[in-house]
Amino acid sequence: MGRKRRLELVESGQCSSHAIGSQQEETRNAALEEDIPHGATQDDDATEPPDDMVATPANVISRPKRGSTLMRDIWNLPPGTKHVLHLNGEGQPIGPSGATFKRWMGTITRKYYMCPVVPIDWREVPIQYKRECWGEIERRWAIPADKVPLVEQEDWAMQLLGHLRRARRTLLKKEHCLESMSKQEVMDNIPNNCDEEQWKKLVEYWFTEGVQTKALQNKASRGFQKEIPRTGPRSLAQLVAILENETGRPVERAVVYDKAYRHKDGTPVTDKAAENMRRMQELLNAGTQLIGESSHGGGILWAPDDAYAQVMGKERHGRVRGVGFGPTPSGRKAKDVLPDSTTPRQSYASDQRVVELEDQIATLTRARAEDANKIEALVQLVTLERTQRIERDAQFKKMMDSVSQHVRELQTQSEEDAHADVDDGDELDDGDALDDGDDRFF
């Protein structure tokens, strides 16, 4: 078990972004040096017995399994104090505080009365659960406002919590929903720290036909995945923070790939990974590299056409590969420049400022184009409405003319019928008078 790492504490009144930022700069290098060794368990905290612990005969020697992390030191933090959370420019937790924060967030997902496993969609979980979880987070952690604005901190934390909640469901299914078990057996196999009603709803979801079909498809897809990163418990963001601290320069995802997909002895995890590394290195040596903020500023550098993308292919919609949890395609991108190993470290901040200004110009240009498109769409809509109105008016006029013509024809016919009736009546009257007169003569 690794040694216990002391985290930075501040009083609740000292949790401004300025105070946190100054303290982070003083402790960041030391914190990174104390990061967990490669392959360590990253868990120094008290644990509870595992769910599957059973009694064994005294003469049988078996390797004990560790239980769930409890993080009692975080839950029992004295009132009025908070741990300082270190983040990179993308809002990703880094350093020992970041690792501890994510492990502690994992303990929240095991409290069914705070973070239920159902509904499946995190967005459909009632708001009172999320508010309670955020209250516990805000009470114990000082999140730097210069990395995540105060108004966005709750949403940021809930996004991470939803990701960890999904990971917990995956682990529950792996440990308590075996392929050989029937639906009823799984329902009866209720894990610790899980509400019975929630568990039954989750099992019902797992055994629906569509979900089972999707699970089989995903399992088959994972069978083709041969390249698994060997970073151990470290996230990619934590790995990059260490690399930046060592080199004093920002790191792009092609370099991260080269570090993450190697065994402890330095050999690539697969022949395919070795080929990818070779091609990426050739592109880095022959063409361009990326620039960005200096140490610990902006996370992993990436661009749609960087060396990583040229080897691994284009990004899918809505996500960016090789940068860890959080960054999206709409976020910040780095810029291509010719490699220059003599560029001083301070120049990267200026270069990043240029990149940010160019991004702002591009954003404004896109906004103007979008506005122009909206105006054009409105003009087309008004033109279409006017054309349709003219057509409706013409059709109405035509219909009214037809009705008027029909009315006139009916009136004319009626007048002609009336004249004909009058003429017939006169002839009949004369005949009747003559007959009457004839009768009087007899």
For residue range 2-55, what is the model confidence (pLDDT) as tens digits? 455 667 777 766 554 444 444 444 444 433 443 443 333 344 444 555 554 444
- Intervals of the chain under pLDDT 70: 1-6, 12-67, 287-298, 318, 326, 328-356, 421-442
Rg of the chain's alpha carbons, rounded to an integer?
Answer: 38
381 in a structural domain: no
Q: What is the pLDDT of residue 442?
A: 41
- pLDDT at site 286: 80
| Residues 143 and 17 reside in one and the same domain | yes
> Are 201 and 173 contained in the same domain?
yes
CA atoms of 434 and 205, how far apart (whole Å): 104
**147 and 284 share a domain?**
no
Do 29 and 65 sit in the same domain of this protein? yes
Q: Is residue 429 part of a domain?
A: no
Q: Is residue 403 part of a domain?
A: no
| pLDDT on residue 384 | 87
Token duo for residue 423: 């003429």
Give the integer Cα–Cα distance in Å for 339 and 249: 13
Give the containing element (helix H, strand E) for 127. helix 127-140
Q: How far apart are CA 172 and CA 164, in angstroms?
A: 12
Q: Is there a single domain that holds both residue 194 and residue 251?
A: no
Q: How far is CA 115 from CA 98, 127, 161, 177, in A?
A: 21, 11, 9, 20
Find the helix packing angle between 196-206 and 209-223, rounded to 10°. Answer: 70
256 shares a domain with 186: no
- The Cα–Cα gap between 330 and 310 comes to 19
> Which of 320, 345, 370 is where one domain is finished?
345
Same domain, 215 and 282: no
User: pLDDT at position 433, please?
Assistant: 46
| 83: enclosing H helix or E strand | strand 81-84
Same-domain pairing of 92 and 138: yes
| 69 and 123, same domain (yes or no) | yes
Identify the domain boundary among 310, 345, 380. Answer: 345
> Tokens for 386?
């006017």
Domain boundary pick from 345, 380, 414:
345
Residue 281 lies in a domain: yes
249 and 129 share one domain: no
Q: Are residues 211 and 251 in the same domain?
A: no
pLDDT of residue 34: 39
Predicted TM-score (pTM) of the model is 0.62
Closest among 81, 72, 69, 87 to 139, alpha carbons compared: 81
Phi, psi dihedrals of residue 252, rounded to the nearest 5°: -100, 165
The pairing of beta strand 289-291 with beta strand 81-84 = unpaired
Please check whether residue 158 lies inside any domain of the structure: yes
**Residue that is written with structure tokens 């790939």 in the block:** 257
Whether 99 and 42 have beta carbons less than 8 Å apart is answered as yes
- Number of compact structural domains in the chain: 2
pLDDT digit string (tens) for 107-159?
999 999 999 999 999 999 999 999 999 999 999 999 999 999 999 999 999 99
Whole domain around residue 284: which residue ranges? 236-345
Crossing angle of helices 95-109 and 236-247, in 10° steps, is: 170
Cα(105)–Cα(197) distance, rounded to whole angstroms?
23
Can the peptide bond before residue 119 be classed as cis, meaning omega within 30 degrees of 0? Answer: yes
Q: Are residues 98 and 146 in the same domain?
A: yes
